[in-house]
Chain A
């Protein structure tokens, strides 16, 4: 229960960061936090599961999630570097073209 609480809080904090942070690097970092929180939740629940019938490999799933997250981080950071080189800025306001 407390595990679930902690995991959900981590997820929530990461979500807040995604919505709030104005610099893309921080934004990507926040996405990693969200993923981390989700992983903790997954693993924590998986650790308590009694195998009934077909076994579920929580480790395997978590591993795959880690790899996907890494790939996503790589591509995202590559994009960030390319954009920053082009536009000379990493802040969201500077990169946004539609003005309200």
Chain B
């Protein structure tokens, strides 16, 4: 991939991600917010692919966009709302929130930046085989734990949502 294309791709993905994130935070219509979230998640998947992590990008798409986003949409539909039409989402912005968020982001940036200086930019392509070896090897405990977590959350969701019989 040529440098210009690479840079253009990068900034394009960034733009979509940023716009999507802003939509999630500021948009008042709930469906449009969900749309923004979807755009953001797809942009993140794009970033994964950009950096050469193909499997990760696919996993992101399946799990997040196909799963989480759909969940969000279902939740929006299930939750009863008063009044006609889709009600508006409100936000309460004040100086404290803005300042503290900006501060945290800035601090994070300042802390991480020195790390980047030590790196050299290279885009290795990792083989899926490498990943599976890791998951079943060094990351096995985490892998198992995550599986357990998924099971537990499944049960939890069932109980929470379906638990009350009148």
Q: Find out whether A and B make contact in their complex, taking CB atoms under 8 A apart as touching.
A: yes
- A residues at B contact (CB < 8 Å): 1-6, 8-17, 19-23, 25-26, 28-30, 32-33, 36-37, 39-41, 43-50, 55, 57-64, 66-75, 77-82, 84-85, 88-91
Task: Name the CB-closest residue of A to B51.
Answer: A47
Contact of B112 (CB < 8 Å), options: A41, A50, A77, A78? A41
A49 to B, closest residue via Cβ: B119
Main secondary structure of the interface of B (DSSP, over half): helix
| B1 CB within 8 Å of chain A | no
Interface residues of B in 74-92 (CB under 8 A from A): 74-76, 78-82, 89-92
Within 8 A of A (CB), among B95-127: 97-98, 100-102, 104-106, 108-109, 112-113, 115-116, 119-124, 126
With known contacts A28-B72, A45-B116, A33–B40 Cβ distance under 8 A: yes
Which residues in A have their C-beta under 8 angstroms from that of B81? 90
CA distance A22 to B90 in the complex (A): 5
Q: Within 8 Å CB of B24, what residues of A?
A: 13-14, 17, 26, 29-30, 32-33
Query: Is A45 a contact partner of B112 (Cβ separation < 8 A)?
Result: yes
Task: Decide: A10 and B109 in contact? CB cutoff 8 A.
Answer: no
Q: Which of B25, B34, B89, B120 interacts with A16 by CB under 8 Å?
A: B25
| Among candidates B21, B30, B119, residue contacting A13 with C-beta atoms closer than 8 Å | B21
22 A-B residue pairs with Cβ-Cβ distance under 8 Å, sorted by A, are A4-B109, A4-B113, A4-B116, A14-B24, A20-B93, A20-B97, A26-B24, A30-B25, A33-B21, A33-B24, A43-B51, A44-B51, A47-B124, A57-B131, A57-B138, A62-B53, A63-B56, A74-B71, A74-B153, A79-B160, A81-B79, A84-B80
Residues of B within 8 A of A (CB): 10, 14, 17-18, 20-22, 24-25, 30, 33-34, 37, 40-41, 44, 47-48, 51-53, 55-56, 59-60, 63-64, 67-68, 71-72, 74-76, 78-82, 89-93, 97-98, 100-102, 104-106, 108-109, 112-113, 115-116, 119-124, 126, 130-131, 134-135, 138-139, 142-143, 146, 149-150, 153-154, 156-157, 160-161, 163-164
